[in-house]
Structures are given as C-alpha cells and as structure tokens.
A and B are shown apart, each in its own frame.
Chain A
Amino acid sequence: MGFLYLASLLMGITCMLLLDHRFRLFFWRDAKAAAIVTAVGVLFLLGWDVAGIGLGIFLRGEGTIATGLLLAPELPIEEPVFLLFLVLCTMVLYTGARQLLDRTPAKRSERARERENV
C-alpha cells in the first residue's frame, strides 16, 4: 500500500489553495460560488470517469505508489482527489489569468494619464 500518490495530490491541492489565498482568486474571492463550481466540476468529471469505466476504457493500474483502496470497481480512492486538484488547478489558472489580463490595461491607462499630466 503506498500513499505517495495520495500525498502528492493533497500537497498539490494545498499549493493551489495557498495561491488562491495569496492572490484572492477563487475560494477567497467568493466562497459560495467557488464551492458550487468545485462541486459541479468534480461531479461532472467523476461522471465521465464512471462512463469510461462502464465502457471498459479506463483500467486501474497496479502502481505501488497508490493505496489500492477502491471506491467502486476500477475507481481508486485517489480519483476524486485528483479531480478536485484538476478543478482547483483549472480555476486558479483561469482566475489568475483574468487577474493578469484585467491588470494590464489598467496600467497602460495609468501610464497614459501620467504622460498627459506631463
């Protein structure tokens, strides 16, 4: 039984939440909306997983870094944790990109104003 994969995922989630906290991106911007987006995202992707497993496409590996604990046939306990990480990573990237994009024109107009003042 290995915990490396699960531990890495939890560490990744922690890092995403730290970024979120530091830049007020997602949960620290609107906790309720973020909770809804996270729940919808994880459930949607989990549905996709279940469909893939049902069609016999996705097969669990026997990797030694996984716990080997199963929620359902071919669905390891790590999977929802991975999907949570994926959703958080997606949203931190998107909200981070939005913050950068929103900031750039503001700076430009500030600079323009400065020039006018001179």
Chain B
Amino acid sequence: MTYLWLALAFIAAAVAAGVIFARQGARPGESGKHWKAVGLAFAALAVLTAVFDSVMIGMELFHYDSAHILGLKVGLAPIEDFAYPLAGAVALPGLWMWLTRKRSGESNRGGNLKGLIPQALLASRPVSWINTAYPFAAAMLLTTREIDWVLIVGTFYFLIPYNLAMYGINDVFDYESDLKNPRKGGMEGALLQPRLHRPMLWLAAITNVPFLLVLAFAGGPAAWISLAVSAFAVVAYSVAGLRFKERPVLDSLTSSTHFVSPAVVGLALAGADVTPGLVILLVAFFLWGMAAHAFGAVQDIEPDRQAGIGSIATVIGARRTVRLAVVLWLVAGLAMLATPWPGPLAAIIAVPYIINCARYWNVTDTTAARTNVAWRRFIWLNYGSGFLVTLIFILQWSLTS
C-alpha cells in the first residue's frame, strides 16, 4: 500500500498545480480544449505505459517490493505506475499554458529562435570538441582505470556544453571584429546574427550550469576549485569588461587554461596523487596550449588591429610571437624528457609543431596573414598528436597494470 499513498501524494500535488496553472493561464474559451487535450495525452500515455512498463519490467530493468504495492496489474505494470504519466499529463501542460499565456497572441517567439541550435553547434567548432573532452577523459580514466558515471557525464560536458559556452560567448562578444574578418564563418568559427546573441548566452548558461553543479557534487574541494577556474576562464576570455583575450600574455594563459583545466578537473574528480611527473606533464601541456594560442593570433594581426583589438601578437608583433611559440613548444618538448617513462616519448610530439611554425621565423606583420596555411595544418596536426598521446597512454597503462 505504501506505493499507493506515495503516488496519491504526488498526484494531489500535480493536480493542484495543474488546476491552478490552467485557471491562471487559460484565455477565455481555452480551458475546454486544454482539458480535452490533457485527456487525449493521458489516454495515449496510459496505453504506452501499459505496453512499455510491462516490457521494461519483463526485461528486469526494475521491480517493486511486493509488500508495498496493491497487486493490481495491467500486463506486468502495477496500477500505481500509471500515476507518473497521470501526474505529468495533468501538471505540465498547465504550466506550459501558463508560461506561454501572454505570448500566444503576440508574434511567434519561437520564430525568433529559428536557427539557434544549428548556429550554436556551428559556433562551438565541432572539429575542436575533442580537444577539451579528451584531456578530461584521459586524465580521469588513467587515474581511476574504470568507466563510471562521473567519467561519462564529465566527458559529455567537456565535449559539447563546455565548447558551446566557450565559443558561443566568444562569438557574441567578438561579433563586431569578426564582421571584418573573412576567415570567420567556416571551420574556424561562425558569424552569429545579433538577434541570436541573447539566446546564445542563455543557451550557454542552461547547458553548462547543471553539469558544473553535478560535477562539483561528485567531487571535493579540489574539483570545486578546478571547475571554478575552468568556468571562469571560459567566461573571462571574451566577456565584455574582462576581455582577457585582449590582454597580451593573459590571453595566451587563459586560452591554454581552456584546454588544460579539463585535465585538471578530471584528475581532481579522480583523486589523483600529485607527483612531480604529473606536474611537469601539466606544465608542458600548458606551454603547448600557450604556444598554440600565440601562433593562432598571428594570422589575425591585421583584422584585429583594424578592429582595435589587442592580442599577444598585435602587441609584440608577428615575428616575435612566432618565435615565442617555437620556443614554448621546444620547452614543452624538453620538459617531457624529465617525466618518468614512457613520458619522454611525448617529447617527439613537439617536433612537427616546431617545424610547421618555424618556417615563419622571419614573418612580418604584413605577411602575417599567410600563417593561416600553417594554422589550418595545425588543426589536423592536433589529431595526429592525439593519436600519439593515446599510444603513449596505452603503453603507460600496460606498463603499470
């Protein structure tokens, strides 16, 4: 009987909410249609429940303590299970009608959001999703050596919502300068229409906050700090007022944090031991990220200057930025030599980056746009590096197990 009382309590709450919302939300003459539609929806749901609840119970997905249920069944589904669709069908349409009450007479708001999802996905640079999901998943998996829900949820978060926020916020606040840059709108970014700017920021918040809360819930203080730093770097990079991307050096530091922080979050959630080897690895990764950002900024020197935007490259110039990137990659590679075996193997990964970039050792500000060729190659180089890093991780896994 316990289940019946539980179900009745929740149904009572749902009915009360449903009736109040429907009264407040219905326009004259709308009420009849509302309850008719609720009836139709529940009738369909009840049939679906009878069929699929039976299938799910038959497949042993869940069962009930028989002491707590009435024993009355439709198929294999206990009668109390129909309480879920009933409560949902009574309460939620009422809430929906109440939320949409004023707007139904006005112009279709949904029309304003047309294209938001495809635009958001395009803006999030799907070609680069793996760059943030991989560091998280690798760091966590290599520490815990098992796939649990935190790993799955976190990997999904750093695969899509995180990139949606990072690039979505960036494209909203970069709209003005991106307008002047012909490079944007394809693989390397999308021009976002102004009417989608506010919805894009909302989308970023809605898709990120729940994941951040769940991941924070799953970890301790180390995870909270790393998640906070990660989220702050995502926002601070481009949001008006902070605009870290326009502050030389701070721009490269923040950009690198975007890629290293997922790994740190993974390590924190996994409760990894902080060893000198691990710190050197993270520092090398961080230097690699700084070099990548600095080199990427070189190609945009002209459009950035025209738009009055500062970056590490506009301030210290194309030639010095390229040389700085080469040196950072070199130091990153050398640092890997100081890590425990098989870490030193990763030093070789720095070589293609240095070769790719060193050809522009004598680049000038006027020829800076030509580095775009190398930048495009760079995006694919990352996949090759990911492949090599994965091989090294597998080797490390087999050596330590």
- Chain A residues packing against B (C-beta within 8 Å): 5, 24, 26, 28-37, 40-41, 44-45, 48, 51-52, 55-66, 69-71, 77-78, 86-87, 89-91, 93-95, 97-98, 101-102
Check A90 against B85 for contact (C-beta < 8 Å): yes
**Min distance, Cβ B219 to any Cβ of chain A, angstroms:** 15
- A30 touching B149 in the complex, CB below 8 Å, given contacts A57-B65, A90-B88, A102-B33: no
Check A61 against B62 for contact (C-beta < 8 Å): yes
A66 vs B44: C-alpha distance when bound (angstroms): 26
Check B6 against A48 for contact (C-beta < 8 Å): yes
**B63 contacts chain A at the CB level, 8 A cutoff:** yes
Indicate the member of A48, A59, A66, A78 with the most B CB atoms within 10 Å.
Answer: A48
Check B6 against A52 for contact (C-beta < 8 Å): yes
A63 vs B58: C-alpha distance when bound (angstroms): 9
**B41 contacts chain A at the CB level, 8 A cutoff:** yes
B-chain residues with CB within 8 Å of residue A97 when the two chains form the complex: 36-37, 40-41
Indicate the member of A5, A56, A62, A97 with the most B CB atoms within 10 Å.
Answer: A97
Beyond A32-B99, A87-B88, 14 additional contacts (C-beta under 8 Å) are A29-B110, A31-B199, A37-B96, A41-B88, A45-B88, A48-B10, A61-B60, A62-B60, A86-B88, A89-B48, A94-B37, A94-B41, A94-B96, A97-B37
A-chain residues with CB within 8 Å of residue B96 when the two chains form the complex: 26, 33-34, 37, 91, 94-95
Q: Which residue of B lies closest to A40 (CB)?
A: B95
**B345 contacts chain A at the CB level, 8 A cutoff:** no
A56 vs B65: C-alpha distance when bound (angstroms): 7
Check A57 against B3 for contact (C-beta < 8 Å): yes
Task: Give the tally of cross-chain contacts (CB within 8 A).
Answer: 139
Q: Which 8 A-B pairs have the closest CB atoms?
A: A33-B99, A97-B37, A93-B41, A63-B60, A61-B60, A97-B40, A94-B41, A94-B93
Of the candidates A33, A57, A101, the one whose C-beta lies within 8 Å of that of B100 is A33
A-chain residues with CB within 8 Å of residue B44 when the two chains form the complex: 93
Check B110 against A28 for contact (C-beta < 8 Å): yes
Check B64 against A61 for contact (C-beta < 8 Å): no
A89 vs B223: C-alpha distance when bound (angstroms): 36
Check B92 against A90 for contact (C-beta < 8 Å): yes
- A30 touching B103 in the complex, CB below 8 Å, given contacts A41-B88, A55-B68, A95-B96: yes
**B197 contacts chain A at the CB level, 8 A cutoff:** no
Check B33 against A98 for contact (C-beta < 8 Å): yes
Q: Which residue of B lies closest to A65 (CB)?
A: B59
**Min distance, Cβ A118 to any Cβ of chain B, angstroms:** 29
16 contacting pairs across A/B (C-beta < 8 A):
A30-B99, A32-B109, A37-B99, A40-B95, A44-B14, A52-B3, A57-B6, A57-B68, A59-B63, A60-B62, A69-B148, A86-B88, A90-B88, A90-B93, A94-B92, A101-B36
* Interface size class, chain B: 35 or more
Chain A binding surface, main DSSP class: helix
B-chain residues with CB within 8 Å of residue A94 when the two chains form the complex: 37-38, 40-41, 89, 92-93, 96
**Min distance, Cβ B131 to any Cβ of chain A, angstroms:** 24
A97 vs B48: C-alpha distance when bound (angstroms): 16
Check B37 against A91 for contact (C-beta < 8 Å): no
Check A57 against B37 for contact (C-beta < 8 Å): no
A60 vs B63: C-alpha distance when bound (angstroms): 6
Of the candidates B40, B68, B84, the one whose C-beta lies within 8 Å of that of A93 is B40
- A35 touching B110 in the complex, CB below 8 Å, given contacts A69-B152, A77-B152, A94-B41: no
B-chain residues with CB within 8 Å of residue A91 when the two chains form the complex: 92-93, 96
A37 vs B10: C-alpha distance when bound (angstroms): 17
Check A59 against B65 for contact (C-beta < 8 Å): yes
**Min distance, Cβ A18 to any Cβ of chain B, angstroms:** 13
**Min distance, Cβ B200 to any Cβ of chain A, angstroms:** 12
B-chain residues with CB within 8 Å of residue A61 when the two chains form the complex: 57, 59-63
**Min distance, Cβ B61 to any Cβ of chain A, angstroms:** 5
Of the candidates A41, A66, A90, the one whose C-beta lies within 8 Å of that of B41 is A90
Check A90 against B6 for contact (C-beta < 8 Å): no
**B113 contacts chain A at the CB level, 8 A cutoff:** yes
A90 vs B90: C-alpha distance when bound (angstroms): 10
A-chain residues with CB within 8 Å of residue B10 when the two chains form the complex: 44, 48, 51
Of the candidates A40, A51, A71, the one whose C-beta lies within 8 Å of that of B149 is A71
Of the candidates B2, B33, B41, the one whose C-beta lies within 8 Å of that of A57 is B2
A29 vs B100: C-alpha distance when bound (angstroms): 9
**Min distance, Cβ B202 to any Cβ of chain A, angstroms:** 7
